[in-house]
């Protein structure tokens, strides 16, 4: 697993889980891997995975049932919310990048629309 | 939260040198602490004190509430930085030797670890390569159900594949009711396993804290912080 060591690892694990939820790899009500299994999979400290799970729970994405495991919470709405959240992050990053190059709002949206149009052709 | 290691104002002087100077450090239960610093910064001395092999000049050291000595040796699983196994022994005999010495030695786990490390009990220590000796030593150390694991340079002499086998064994075996303190020069390879880090320089703790916290506050990896702390600042592109 490729992480950026310049940013907190737990936040990147949170993103990884959210991404799995967004693309349907983890379904609503589905079980997350155990802390230890995920730690072995992505090769990090189990405490870091634990922290990511706790934060995800605090933000309402997952629920932990004692002795049973951690599950993606609720319904399809959760999945939509996660997807929208991730999409927002990507859009923000795009806008910030464009602004740093000196582009204005109009050009930023036109170029995004053009690129999207090119992609579908 | 329970604290497994409590070090306050620890100083260790040898006749002509001061190896440790006013070191204060805590290791909470369930944490993995990276002890970082260049050669000669005091890491090995600190670890030997925790293992009960070197006595402090002044200050206090508590391991699970007790000063290092016979009682703490039963709780501390120590990996010295040089090979401590007899060459004539087989890997399995070394396991029996450990089982005789330490009541917390788990033979079953030892056999499992040998499998993970791709070692066999019948191999003689003397016939093993340096990396294989390291893996055998680590298997012994992790087979103890200790309160504290003190590992001095556990990744020296390991190729990248062996290093990932060892890290996997480490994650697979780490428990919430123990702590680990380890020194390494391979900061980049291991930094994702640290809960906390302590940087030693000239026998003093120059920087210590939660690894994720340090990453967040400095926007840098632990390895980059290491380079900054010890003055090898690389020119980074902005």
Question: Is A3–B192 a contact, with Cβ atoms under 8 angstroms apart?
Answer: yes
Q: Are residues A17 and A63 in the same domain?
A: yes
Q: Work out the percent of chain A whose per-residue pLDDT is above 90.
A: 52
**pLDDT surpasses 60 at A115:** yes
Q: Are residues A57 and A101 in the same domain?
A: no
Q: Are residues A65 and A13 in the same domain?
A: yes
Question: Is B171–A7 a contact, with Cβ atoms under 8 angstroms apart?
Answer: no
Compute the mean pLDDT over every residue in chain A, rounded to the nearest whole number. 89
C-beta of residue B208 within 8 angstroms of C-beta of residue B196: yes
A31 is a domain residue: yes
Residues of B in contact with A8 (CB under 8 A): 212, 215-216
Domains of chain B: 3-229 (3.40.50.300)
- What is the biggest distance separating any 2 CA atoms in chain A, rounded to whole angstroms? 53
Q: Are residues A54 and A104 in the same domain?
A: no
- Give bridge partners of residue B144 from the DSSP assignment: B105
Domain count, chain A: 2
Question: Is B30–A7 a contact, with Cβ atoms under 8 angstroms apart?
Answer: no
Q: Are residues A16 and A71 in the same domain?
A: yes
Q: Are residues A15 and A52 in the same domain?
A: yes
Kindly state the helix (H) or strand (E) to which residue B196 belongs, with its residue range: strand B196-201
pLDDT at position B236 is: 46
Range of the domain at A42: 9-76
Burial A61-73 (b: 16+ CB within 10 A, else e): bbeeeeeeebbbb
Q: Are residues A96 and A50 in the same domain?
A: no
Residues of chain B whose beta carbon is less than 8 angstroms from a beta carbon of chain A are 30-32, 164, 167-168, 171-172, 174, 188, 191-195, 212, 215-216, 219-224
Q: Are residues A37 and A70 in the same domain?
A: yes
A1 is a domain residue: no
Q: How far is B57 from chain A (nearest CA, A)?
A: 34
**pLDDT surpasses 50 at B237:** no
What pTM does this model have? 0.86
How many other CB atoms are found less than 10 A from the CB of residue A40?
A: 19
pLDDT at position B238 is: 43
> What does the CA dihedral B133, B135, B136, B139 come to, rounded to 10 degrees?
160
A57 is a domain residue: yes
From CA A101, how far away is CA A82, in angstroms rounded? Answer: 29
From CA B119, how far away is CA B111, in angstroms rounded? Answer: 9
Question: Is A51–B194 a contact, with Cβ atoms under 8 angstroms apart?
Answer: no
Q: pLDDT confidence of B232, banded at 50, 70, 90?
A: low
A2 is a domain residue: no
pLDDT at position A44 is: 93
A4 is a domain residue: no
Residues of B in contact with A47 (CB under 8 A): 30-32, 195
Question: A20 is written with which tokens?
Answer: 């799995």
Q: Are residues A72 and A115 in the same domain?
A: no
Q: Does A6 touch chain B (CB under 8 A)?
A: yes
pLDDT at position A121 is: 58
C-beta of residue B144 within 8 angstroms of C-beta of residue B77: yes
Chain segment A50-62, per-residue pLDDT in tens? 999 999 999 888 9
Question: Is A6–B224 a contact, with Cβ atoms under 8 angstroms apart?
Answer: yes
- CATH no. for residue A22? 1.10.10.10
Chain segment B150-206, per-residue pLDDT in tens? 999 998 888 888 888 888 888 887 888 999 999 998 898 899 999 999 999 999 999
Over residues B95-121, the mean pLDDT reads 95
Question: Is A5–B193 a contact, with Cβ atoms under 8 angstroms apart?
Answer: no
From CA B238, how far away is CA B223, in angstroms rounded? Answer: 18
Compute the mean pLDDT over every residue in chain B, rounded to the nearest whole number. 92
pLDDT at position A23 is: 87
Chain segment B19-66, per-residue pLDDT in tens? 999 999 999 999 999 999 999 999 999 999 999 999 999 999 999 999
pLDDT at position A27 is: 85
Q: What are phi and psi of B3, to 5 degrees?
A: -105, 125
**pLDDT surpasses 90 at B213:** yes
Q: Does A43 touch chain B (CB under 8 A)?
A: yes
Quote ipTM for the complex: 0.81
Q: How far is B16 from chain A (nearest CA, A)?
A: 40
**How far is residue B61 from each of residues A34, A116, B46, B50, B177, measured CA to CA in Å?**
36, 63, 10, 8, 20
Q: Are residues A58 and A13 in the same domain?
A: yes
C-beta of residue B145 within 8 angstroms of C-beta of residue B177: no
Neighbouring C-alpha atoms within 13 Å toward the C-beta of A18? 23
Question: Is B32–A5 a contact, with Cβ atoms under 8 angstroms apart?
Answer: no
CA B173, chain centre distance (Å):
15
Q: Are residues A55 and A89 in the same domain?
A: no
């Amino acid at each position: 697993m490729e992480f950026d060591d310049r940013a907190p690892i737990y936040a990147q694990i949170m993103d990884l889980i959210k991404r799995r939820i967004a693309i349907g790899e983890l379904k609503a009500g589905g079980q997350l891997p155990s802390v230890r299994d995920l730690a072995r999979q992505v090769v990090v400290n189990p405490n870091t995975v634990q922290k990511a799970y706790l934060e995800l729970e605090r933000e309402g994405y997952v629920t932990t049932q004692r002795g049973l495991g951690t599950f993606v919470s609720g319904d399809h709405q959760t999945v939509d919310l996660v997807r929208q959240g991730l999409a927002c992050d990507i859009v923000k990053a795009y806008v910030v990048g464009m602004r740093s190059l000196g582009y204005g709002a109009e050009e930023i949206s036109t170029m995004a629309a053009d690129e999207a149009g090119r992609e579908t052709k | 939260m329970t604290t497994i290691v409590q070090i306050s104002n620890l100083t260790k002087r040898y006749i002509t040198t001061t190896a440790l100077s006013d070191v204060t450090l805590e290791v909470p239960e369930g944490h993995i602490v990276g002890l970082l610093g260049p050669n000669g910064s005091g890491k090995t001395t600190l670890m030997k004190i925790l293992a009960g092999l070197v006595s402090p000049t002044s200050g206090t050291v508590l391991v699970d509430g007790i000063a290092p000595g016979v009682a703490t040796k039963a709780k501390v699983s120590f990996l010295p930085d040089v090979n401590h196994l007899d060459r004539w022994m087989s890997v399995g005999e070394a396991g029996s030797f450990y089982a005789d010495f330490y009541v917390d030695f788990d033979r079953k786990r030892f056999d499992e670890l040998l499998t993970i490390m791709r070692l066999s009990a019948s191999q003689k220590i003397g016939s093993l390569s340096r990396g294989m000796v390291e893996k055998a030593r680590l298997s012994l150390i992790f087979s103890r159900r200790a309160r504290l694991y003190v590992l001095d340079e556990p990744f020296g002499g390991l190729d990248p594949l062996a290093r990932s086998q060892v890290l996997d064994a480490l994650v697979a075996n780490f428990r919430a009711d123990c702590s680990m303190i380890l020194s390494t020069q391979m900061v980049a390879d291991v930094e994702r396993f640290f809960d906390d880090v302590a940087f030693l320089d000239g026998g003093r703790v120059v920087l210590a804290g939660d690894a994720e916290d340090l990453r967040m506050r400095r926007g840098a990896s632990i390895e980059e912080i290491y380079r900054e702390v010890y003055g090898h600042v690389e020119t980074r592109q902005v």
